[in-house]
């Protein structure tokens, strides 16, 4: 067996991840710098009480604990908040394929994994599908750090038509919060087009 | 060795080799892979023999053929010692068995050509295609399933394929049947394997220093595993690396064969399907078929994890959780599965949506994409279930319907024995890997912050699971094979969380003590304590020269507080009645260095929350993401020597200790696959 014949399949295999990687790069999601996160969203230091009429909902309160023998079950608190205004604090997880009107809010700072990988999926079941009250007009970007969001809660399993993702809790953002997300999304899209130069 | 005969009658090897070299053609016809793997095929050397089997142990034969351009394969054979393995079997003129019709399969690239064949004519290996990337577009993978041979000695395997122009391609390899000395004394009826995942010599020593203590150079007591009369050293390499991962690390012990990293119960192949790889029979399958033994799998990990799956599951992708847990259940009549205890409930809950980002409301992780369906050849050859892509399956309900008692927590485990010992037992105590001893014990002592945050405050300890498993398994008069795994010795060593992995070794040792007591009462039992590999290059570098309070006041002290040699003295931990140290946060605590370390910030202090592990579907938000950010604001940066966020496995030999019937077979330095043949001898032929 000649050395070339032995090496060739290996060389071809070695070239493949580059192509895949290049393919993956074709659809990139813009990022926001920490200093550009709007004050209306950022969590800096101790968070005060939510505004009147708004209930604080923590991720740890979404399911009953301890976990039941046959799986997670929604908590009573969650059921009582259906249709009510709540405030949640978590990490923005942009959707894949990229979306302009919704994203996931997760208790962990994670990305959506690719279909074929993952020993465990890394989006926890308590993640909430967040809908803007109107589309941002740009891809929802990666936003670093914790954000606080206020909106109206909706409880019940719902499938997202574009991504096929099924969420058990949804949050429709209040108009002022939607405006803040729109602003940061458009700015992120603009700076992705015109990369900043170092001075 | 692979060569082509244009005459169709076979050329002398030398002439064929010269022709091949002169041709220098990357696309010349050849057999590019012959399975079982052999050095005879790979390099032309007759030794070492890579693939070895016990008499009658089943295994698959397979070849990947790269035909001449435009040619197809029209016929083939697998010939062992000049005898076809595909001969039909006739009785009184009636065809009883035709292996070619029932036990073979041919896989070619039948996926969409536009996606699966590149402009170069080579396969792309893309999603939806049949073959892996880089093969000629007409490459052909041919399998002959579930072959076995009972004649001891080295055998020659010759694979032949004929192209549609009449020329033939052939290749030669070898394998060995390791004989069993019959009637060599009393046999071991029960085989118990303790697997301290990632547990090297340093991990054992660290547990001894903490739990027994030293005085003037002498250990004040021994670990249960230290009291085993025989100890050997195990070489742990996998089929494709000196550094193994946990799949081959475990399965090599219980199949006698080397697997590639990330693969269990199979050899590598050239198809994309992770469940169609050439298989070989597990100890559990072999002894269940031969002697009617039961199988018990007990782990502190998610039960789909590489080590537990490597007792019974055949797949080339250790991450395929849905298919793995389904196979545990579907093939229980092949393996004798009677006890399955651990974490991993997320794989057993129905997920009709087949969506997991985010997971469904019950937290199920089941997906079609990691489930299994087998071809006719495997189903016919191995007598196993075909499988269905069924994320909607309610596997807990099916286990119950099949007579398994289901326990969801420690209270449920105790209750399962309320009306006598159950015949079969399923315990799923958490969603993925169970919490570690450090956090479970804290919960039992009244600080349940961590176990509450995970949602599972009532998880059993490994000694309790071991006791339950042995009670159930010992109901079988034919005996049993049991794996009992301390899985997070490895997981916490990866995370370089010293306070957590040291307690994992202590937890494992307490389970070993339970099995040792069982073996004292049941002398027809062999108990092995070993590891799949060493993890993290752990080394006991000394002890802190300062008090716990000083460490806390200055967590950035780094090497300034590491006492080496006599400055280490003898760290003194106080053990509580529950068998674990009252605290690991002591004055002059033992310190661990990591030779296979990734970047980490070290404070030498216990971490309040466990660091996130990649298999947990929903770790609490207080868990640091990885060691390279843990204690970033307070600790001392130790630059890693390996890439990534975690410490890695190492190729260092690991100790194996043996107790009970046949223990004396386990002295010296031996390969991990040798353990399988020693067990075979002791369980079938006798232990003298």
Taking the domains of chain B in order of start, what are their residue ranges? Answer: 2-177, 190-538+649-685
Question: Residue B321 and residue B309: Cα distance in Å, rounded?
Answer: 9
Nearest to A118 among B30, B32, B319 (CB): B319
Q: Between residues 146 and 165 of chain A, which touch chain B (CB distance below 8 Å)?
A: 157, 159, 163-165
Which residues, including other chains, have CB under 8 Å from residue B284's CB and lie 6 or more apart? Answer: B254, B293, B295, B311, B312, B335, B336, B337, B481
Query: Do the chains contact at B125 and A67, CB–CB below 8 Å?
Result: no
State the pLDDT confidence band at A44, using cuts at 50, 70 and 90.
confident
pLDDT at B143 over 90: yes
Q: How far apart are CA B149 and CA B334, in angstroms?
A: 19
Within 10 A of B572 (CB to CB), how many other CB atoms are there?
A: 16
Q: What angle do CA A134, A138, A140 make, to 5 degrees?
A: 85
Residue B139 has pLDDT above 70, yes or no: yes
Superfamily assignment of B2-177 in CATH?
Immunoglobulins (2.60.40.10)
For B86, other C-beta atoms within 10 Å of its C-beta total 17
CB atoms B359 and A73 under 8 Å: no
Residue A181 belongs to some domain of the structure: yes
Question: A166 — contact with chain B (CB < 8 Å)?
Answer: yes
Each residue's pLDDT tens digit, B228-239: 999 999 999 999
**Domain assignment of residue A168, yes or no:** yes
Q: Contact B390/B349 with Cβ under 8 angstroms? A: no
Backbone angles phi, psi at B8, to 5 degrees: 80, 0
For B660-688, give the secondary structure using H, E and C: ECCHHHCCEEEEHHHHHHHHHHHHHHCCC
Residue B398 pLDDT > 50? yes
Say whether residue A103 is in contact with chain B using an 8 A CB cutoff.
no
A162 pLDDT higher than 80: no
Mean pLDDT taken over chain A: 79
Report chain B residues whose CB lies below 8 A from the CB of A10: 134
* Beta strands across the sheet bearing B30-35: B30-35, B59-66, B140-147, B104-108
Residues 317-356 of B with CB under 8 A from A: 319, 321, 345-346, 349, 353, 355-356
Q: Which residues of A touch B455 (CB under 8 A)?
A: 63, 65-67
| Average pLDDT of the segment spanning B366-388 | 97
Separation of alpha carbons A40 and A53, rounded Å: 18
Residue A112: pLDDT band with limits 50, 70, 90: low
User: What is the ipTM score, two decimals?
Assistant: 0.73
Q: How far apart are CA B674 and CA B49, in angstroms?
A: 12
Using alpha carbons only, give the angle B361, B362, B367 rounded to the nearest 5 degrees: 95
Residue ranges of alpha helices (H) inside B277-338 are 283-291, 306-309, 321-330, 332-335
A19 interfacial to chain B (CB closer than 8 Å): no
Q: Is A144 on the interface with B (CB under 8 A)?
A: no
CATH no. for residue A42?
2.40.50
Query: How close A15 comes to chain B (CA, Å)?
Result: 10
pLDDT tens digits for A79-104?
Answer: 999 999 999 999 999 887 889 999 99
Other C-beta atoms lying within 10 Å of the C-beta of residue B383: 14
Catalogue the E-assigned strands of A68-186: 85-93, 102-106, 128-131, 147-159, 166-173
Decide if B360 and A164 are in contact by the 8 Å CB cutoff. Answer: no
Asked if B133 and A12 come within 8 Å (Cβ–Cβ), the reply is: yes
pLDDT tens digit sequence for B281-299 = 999 999 999 999 999 999 9
Confirm if B429 and B303 have CB atoms less than 8 A apart.
Answer: no
- Whether B680 contacts B670, CB under 8 Å: no
Assess if residue A83 is contained within a domain: yes
User: Alpha-carbon distance B116 to B126, whole Å?
Assistant: 6
Residue A182: strand, helix, or coil: helix
Nearest 5°: phi and psi at B668? Answer: 95, -165
Contact yes or no for B476/B303 (Cβ under 8 A): no
Residues of A in contact with B346 (CB under 8 A): 120
Question: Which of B28, B363, B458 lies nearest to residue A71, judging by beta carbons?
Answer: B363
- The pLDDT of residue B19: 43
Does A7 fall in a domain? no
CA distance B139 to B131: 8
The lowest-confidence range among A59-63, B33-37, B82-86 is A59-63
Q: Give the total number of structural domains in chain A.
A: 1
Longest dimension (CA), chain A: 78
pLDDT, tens digit, for every residue of B13-70?
444 444 444 444 455 899 999 999 999 999 999 999 999 999 999 999 999 999 999 9
Confidence band of B12 (pLDDT split at 50, 70, 90): very low
Confidence of residue B213 (pLDDT cuts 50, 70, 90): very high
Higher-pLDDT residue of B19, A60: A60
Residues of A whose CB is below 8 A from B32: 9
Residue B663 phi/psi, 5-degree rounding, is: -60, -30
Rounded Cα distance, B275 and B121, in Å = 26
Where in the sequence is the domain holding A118, given as residue range(s)?
Answer: 34-193
Put simply, whether B457 touches A (Cβ < 8 Å) is: yes
Q: Is B91 exposed, middle or buried (0-12, 13-18, 19+ CB in 10 A)?
A: exposed
Nearest one of B680, B660, B368, B334 to B522, comparing CA atoms: B660
The DSSP element (H or E) to which B207 belongs, if any, is helix B201-211
Q: What is the CA radius of gyration of chain A?
A: 20
Chain B from 110 to 139: CB within 8 A of any A CB = 120, 122, 125, 127, 133-135
Q: Looking at the domain assignment, is residue A29 inside a domain?
A: no
Residue contact B361–A168, C-beta within 8 A: yes
Neighbour tally for B569: CB within 10 Å: 13
A23 CB-contact burial (10 Å; exposed 0-12 / middle 13-18 / buried 19+): exposed
Buried b (16+ CB within 10 A) or exposed e, B410-429: bebbeebbeeeebebbbbbb
Does the beta carbon of B411 lie under 8 angstroms from any beta carbon of chain A? no
Pairwise CA distance, residues B533 & B196, whole Å: 9
**A151 assigned to some structural domain:** yes
pLDDT at position B381 over 70:
yes
Give a yes or no: residue A26 inside a domain.
no
B429 interfaces chain A, CB cutoff of 8 Å: no
Question: How many CA atoms are closer than 13 Å to the CA of B548, on its beta-carbon side?
Answer: 12
Q: Are A188 and A141 in contact (CB under 8 A)?
A: yes
Closest CA to B193 of B669, B684, B678, B653: B678
CB atoms within 10 A of CB A46: 5
Question: Which of helix, strand or coil describes residue B110?
Answer: coil
Option in B30, B353, B364 nearest A71 (CB): B364
C-alpha dist (Å) from residue B42 to A104, B33, B38:
50, 9, 6
Q: What is the pLDDT of residue A13?
A: 36
B190-538+649-685 is a CATH 3.40.50.720 domain: no
CB contact under 8 A, B134 and A63: no
DSSP B187: P
- B70 at the A interface (CB within 8 A)? no
Taking a C-beta distance cutoff of 8 angstroms, is the pair B234, B219 a contact?
no
Candidates A74, A120, A168; nearest CB to B617: A120
Q: pLDDT tens digits, residue range B235-292? A: 999 999 999 999 999 999 999 999 999 999 999 999 999 999 999 999 999 999 999 9
Please state, in angstroms and as integers, the Cα–Cα distance from residue B312 to each residue in A190, B125, B307, following that order. Answer: 54, 28, 10
**Contact list, A2 vs chain B (CB under 8 Å):** 20-21, 24
């Amino acid at each position: 067996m000649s050395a070339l014949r032995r090496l060739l399949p290996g060389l071809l295999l070695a070239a493949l991840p580059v192509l895949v990687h290049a393919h993956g790069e074709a659809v990139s999601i813009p990022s926001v710098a920490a200093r550009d996160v709007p004050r209306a969203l950022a969590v800096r230091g101790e968070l005060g009480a939510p505004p009147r009429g708004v209930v604080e909902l923590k991720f740890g309160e979404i399911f009953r604990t301890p976990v039941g023998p046959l799986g997670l079950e929604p908590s009573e608190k969650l059921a009582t908040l259906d249709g009510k205004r709540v405030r949640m604090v978590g990490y923005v997880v942009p959707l894949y394929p990229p979306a302009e009107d919704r994203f996931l809010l997760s208790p962990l700072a994670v990305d959506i994994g690719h279909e074929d990988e993952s020993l465990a999926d890394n989006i926890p079941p308590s993640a909430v599908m967040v809908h803007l009250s109107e589309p941002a007009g740009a891809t929802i970007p990666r936003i670093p750090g914790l954000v606080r969001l206020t909106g109206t809660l909706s409880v019940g399993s719902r499938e997202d038509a574009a991504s096929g993702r099924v969420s058990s809790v949804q949050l429709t953002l209040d108009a002022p919060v939607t405006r803040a997300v729109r602003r940061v999304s458009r700015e992120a899209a603009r700076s992705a087009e015109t990369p900043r130069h170092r001075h | 060795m692979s060569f082509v005969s244009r005459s169709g009658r076979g050329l002398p090897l030398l002439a064929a080799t010269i022709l091949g070299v002169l041709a220098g053609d990357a696309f010349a016809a050849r057999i590019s892979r012959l399975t079982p793997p052999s050095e005879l095929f790979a390099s032309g050397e007759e030794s070492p023999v890579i693939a070895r089997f016990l008499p009658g142990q089943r295994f698959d034969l397979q070849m990947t053929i790269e035909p001449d351009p435009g040619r197809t394969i029209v016929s083939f054979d697998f010939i062992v010692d000049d005898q076809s393995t595909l001969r039909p079997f006739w009785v009184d003129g009636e065809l009883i068995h035709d292996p070619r019709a029932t036990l073979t399969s041919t896989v070619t690239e039948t996926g969409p050509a536009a996606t699966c064949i590149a402009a170069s004519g080579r396969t792309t290996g893309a999603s939806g295609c049949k073959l892996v990337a880089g093969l000629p577009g007409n490459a052909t993978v041919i399998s002959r399933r579930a072959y076995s041979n009972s004649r001891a000695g080295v055998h020659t395997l010759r694979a032949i394929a004929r192209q549609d122009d009449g020329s033939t391609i052939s290749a030669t390899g070898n394998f060995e049947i390791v004989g069993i000395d019959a009637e060599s004394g009393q046999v071991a009826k029960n085989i118990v394997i303790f697997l301290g995942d990632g547990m090297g010599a340093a991990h054992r020593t660290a547990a001894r220093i903490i739990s027994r203590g030293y005085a003037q150079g002498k250990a004040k007591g021994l670990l249960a595993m230290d009291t085993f009369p025989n100890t050997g050293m195990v070489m742990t390499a996998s089929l494709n690396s000196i550094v193994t991962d946990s799949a081959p690390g475990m399965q090599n012990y219980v199949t006698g064969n080397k697997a590639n990293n990330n693969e269990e119960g199979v050899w590598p192949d050239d198809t994309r399907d992770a469940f169609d790889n050439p298989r070989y029979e597990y100890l559990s399958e072999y002894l269940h078929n031969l002697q009617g033994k039961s199988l018990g799998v007990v782990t502190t990990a998610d039960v789909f994890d590489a080590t537990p799956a490597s007792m019974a599951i055949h797949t080339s992708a250790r991450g395929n959780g849905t298919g793995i847990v389904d196979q545990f259940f579907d093939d229980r009549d092949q393996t004798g599965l009677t006890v399955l205890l651990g974490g991993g409930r997320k794989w057993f809950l129905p997920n009709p949506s087949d969506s997991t980002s985010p997971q469904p409301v019950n937290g199920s992780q089941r997906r079609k994409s990691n489930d299994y369906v087998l071809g006719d050849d495997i189903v016919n050859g191995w007598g196993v279930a075909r499988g269905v892509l069924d994320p909607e399956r309610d596997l807990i309900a099916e286990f119950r319907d099949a007579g398994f008692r289901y326990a969801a927590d420690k209270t449920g485990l105790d209750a399962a024995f309320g009306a006598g010992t159950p015949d079969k037992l399923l315990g799923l105590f958490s969603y993925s890997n169970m919490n570690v001893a450090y956090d479970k014990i804290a919960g039992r002592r009244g600080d349940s912050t961590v176990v509450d945050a995970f949602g599972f405050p009532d998880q059993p300890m490994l000694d309790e699971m071991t006791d339950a498993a042995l009670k159930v398994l010992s109901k079988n008069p034919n005996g049993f094979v049991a794996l009992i795994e301390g899985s997070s010795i490895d997981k916490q060593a990866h995370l370089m969380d010293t306070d957590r992995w040291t307690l994992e070794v202590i937890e494992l040792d307490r389970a070993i003590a339970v099995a040792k007591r069982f073996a004292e009462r049941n002398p027809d039992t062999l108990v092995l304590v070993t590891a799949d590999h060493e993890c993290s290059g752990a080394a006991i570098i000394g002890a802190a020269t300062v008090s716990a309070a000083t460490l806390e006041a200055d967590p950035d002290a780094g090497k300034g507080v590491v006492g080496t040699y006599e400055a280490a003295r003898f760290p003194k931990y106080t053990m509580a009645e529950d068998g674990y140290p009252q605290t690991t946060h002591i004055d002059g605590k033992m310190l661990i260095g990591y030779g296979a370390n990734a970047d980490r910030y070290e404070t030498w202090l216990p971490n309040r929350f466990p660091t996130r592990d990649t298999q947990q579907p929903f770790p609490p938000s207080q868990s640091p993401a990885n060691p390279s950010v843990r204690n970033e604001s307070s600790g001392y940066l130790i630059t890693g020597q390996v890439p990534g966020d975690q410490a890695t496995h190492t190729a260092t030999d690991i100790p194996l200790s043996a107790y009970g019937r046949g223990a004396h077979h386990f002295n010296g330095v031996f390969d991990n696959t040798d353990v399988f043949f020693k067990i075979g001898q002791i369980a079938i032929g006798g232990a003298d």
